[in-house]
Amino acid sequence: MTGRFDRSIVNSTAHRPWPMPGRPWLMTQSWNDLLFAHWQVDLAEMRRAVPNVFDLDLFGGAAWLGIVPFYMTNVGIRNVPAVPWLSTFPELNVRTYVRVAERPGVYFFSLDAARRLAVAGARALLNLPYYLADMKVERRGEVVDYHTVRRGQRAADFKALYETTSTPFVATAGSLEYFLTERYCLYHHDRRDRPYRLEIHHRPWSLQHARADIRSNTMAAANHLTIGGTAPLLHFARRQDAVAWAPTRLRA
């Protein structure tokens, strides 16, 4: 999980649902050994949880919640040398899907990370709901052993073993896999409660079907969401390099 960032991704744009921003991108990130675990969630419950300024993005009339553990590398600012200790750390996201002005994106309920400076920076600059957590990720052969326990009063944990069960594939446009993964922006509010869009770019996801032994998972409950006892839909991605832009405020 230490390969160099692939800057050539910015030349691969034919797959994008809308053009890349005209201004320079700001950040690099590489996402490694990522598990997409998705559950259908009650539509009314989801609508209560997401700010009304963002329209829920549904697939077949259903709302989806994603719990996404992975390991970050190459986290850095454009043209600034990466600092190894600061640019690599585990992260876990709890997210759903929204759209504004026909641009579908991601809405984050929480983001847990093992690096205090990253948590503080994302909260200060983007007002994203980051939390500091004690996290451990080990890969044993093809199996990823992932543990996270959030610090502080809003306790939450996720512990699982996961691995691939298929060869890689690229999701077909219009499929559920495409809907859940091919997202090129996130939405949130700034500190003055003004909505913004933050654009990202990456190549199409190289996905694999997966299986997981989820031994503990209180991430949804910590965000006042219910996933019940249903089995999640699981996908794995070995690596994805991405760039991100500074956020832009959405006009009323």
Domain that residue 176 falls in? 26-249
> Does a structural domain hold residue 2?
no
- Residue 79: which pLDDT band, with cuts at 50, 70 and 90? confident
> Does a structural domain hold residue 7?
no
Residue 251 burial by Cβ neighbours in a 10 Å radius (0-12, 13-18, 19+):
exposed
Task: Report the amino acid identity of residue 184.
Answer: Y
The continuous run of DSSP H or E covering 125 comes out as: helix 116-126
> Does a structural domain hold residue 14?
no
pLDDT tens-digit series, residues 181-192: 999 999 999 999
Rounded distance between C-alpha atoms, residue 20 and residue 201, angstroms:
7
pLDDT for position 2? 62
Residue 1 has pLDDT above 70, yes or no: no
pLDDT for position 104? 98
> Does a structural domain hold residue 187?
yes
Residue 84 has pLDDT above 90, yes or no: no
Residue 6 has pLDDT above 90, yes or no: yes
> Does a structural domain hold residue 141?
yes
> Does a structural domain hold residue 173?
yes
Rounded distance between C-alpha atoms, residue 186 and residue 188, angstroms:
7
pLDDT for position 230? 84
66 neighbors 96 (Cβ within 8 angstroms): yes
> Does a structural domain hold residue 19?
no
Q: Which residues pair with 163 in a beta bridge?
A: 211
pLDDT tens-digit series, residues 18-59: 999 999 999 999 999 999 999 999 999 999 999 999 999 999
**CA distances (Å), origin 107, targets 2, 65, 183, 185:** 28, 10, 11, 9
| Per-chain mean pLDDT for the chain | 95
pLDDT tens-digit series, residues 160-180: 999 999 999 999 999 999 999
Q: Domain holding 104: CATH number?
A: 2.40.400.10
Residue 194 has pLDDT above 90, yes or no: yes
The model's pTM is: 0.95
Work out how many domains the chain is built from and give that number. Answer: 1
- Residue 120: which pLDDT band, with cuts at 50, 70 and 90? very high
> In sequence order, what are the residues at sequence separation of 6 or more whose Cβ sits closer than 8 angstroms to the Cβ of residue 37?
66, 67, 68, 212, 214, 232, 233, 234
Rounded distance between C-alpha atoms, residue 215 and residue 223, angstroms:
19
> Does a structural domain hold residue 4?
no
pLDDT for position 85? 72
